[in-house]
Structure 1
């Protein structure tokens, strides 16, 4: 078992709950935030090994908070898996991974595990 922590940023409590349960099966701890603004301080304080950001779960998502979150991730070299339908031109950062919607949880878990594995190997 390992001590990876993943910060999940998603407005949907149900999506966060499912993802946390699936990650727990592999021994990965989860930190939850419903908004990017909340996630900024969590990322700085708890330094997760990965951030999963559902960029279009909240139509009124605060773009500045998202920029702040990605800046915090860059400072600590924390990869981000971005979930959504957005294009590269619409985002102000280069995510480690981009997973288009709709996605399946199995696909997302494999992507998360792959990024965490790469991080541990580095």
Structure 2
């Protein structure tokens, strides 16, 4: 399983569902937006590892979104679009796209290209183990353990709890807003801020039971942060 967060900016729900399903099967975390402005908002707030971007979008087209992303930084972007002309592809590559896939596409090819982009841009395979103090989160094996001195103890986590833990473990010490955790880690049917609090409460209890009490800290007025315990 992978821990990378992929943002899909696409206004056709069927296309979003196809790409999201295949990426999720590989363990990627996925968030989507149906128009350019919402996509840019998600990009700024969630800082995804990869953006899958259509060109024909309401609000702002894909070229404008790509240019805005490039002004912000170097987030890799893969264009997935029905525009097959060489001029369209050249314009996207000139603005800064990392890859260009033409619809209709093979979903497996999109996944393979996404993995290749992430390998190139991060300099490592997406499946590395995340380590924060005594905590180890293995996205590939979908396993989290705590080594409190007597050997690793596995945490019995629900899928949502694992997604939250993996998300915060990827950036230890950073404060995450509740809304960010909702968008990145919760399924649509449970997407409420207070639902995050419930999952966090369960995670804290399980971490404490494994000897990692106090790692998942609340940040007043913001949300939550994963800290390295003192002395580790």
TM > 0.5 between the two?
yes
Could you tell me how far apart the structure 2 residues matched to 1:61 and 1:89 are?
Answer: 23
- Gap runs ≥5 in structure 2: 125-232
Q: CA deviation at 1:14?
A: 1.8
Q: CA RMSD in A?
A: 2.3
Asked if the contact 1:55–1:61 (Cα under 8 Å) also holds between the matched residues in 2, the reply is no
Does residue 44 in structure 1 map to residue 44 in structure 2? yes
- Call closer, same or farther: CA 1:39–1:30 in 2, change over 3 Å: same
Query: Residue 76 of structure 1 aligns with which residue?
Result: 73
Q: Which has the larger radius of gyration?
A: 2
For these two proteins, the number of residue pairs brought into alignment is 119
Note if contact 2:52-2:78 (Cα within 8 Å) is conserved in structure 1.
yes
- Contiguous gaps of at least 5 residues in structure 1: none
Partner of 1:118: 120
**What's the TM-score, normalizing by structure 2?**
0.46
Whether the aligned pair in 1 keeps the contact of 2:89 and 2:100 (CA below 8 Å) is no
User: TM-score normalized by structure 1?
Assistant: 0.82
Residues 66-98 of structure 1, C-alpha deviations (whole Å, 9 max, x = no match): 424532345231011012215146547131111
Q: Which has the higher contact order (CA 8 A, sep 6+)?
A: 1
Structure 1 residues 22 and 62: CA distance shift in structure 2, 3 A: same
How many angstroms does 1:110 deviate by?
A: 1.0
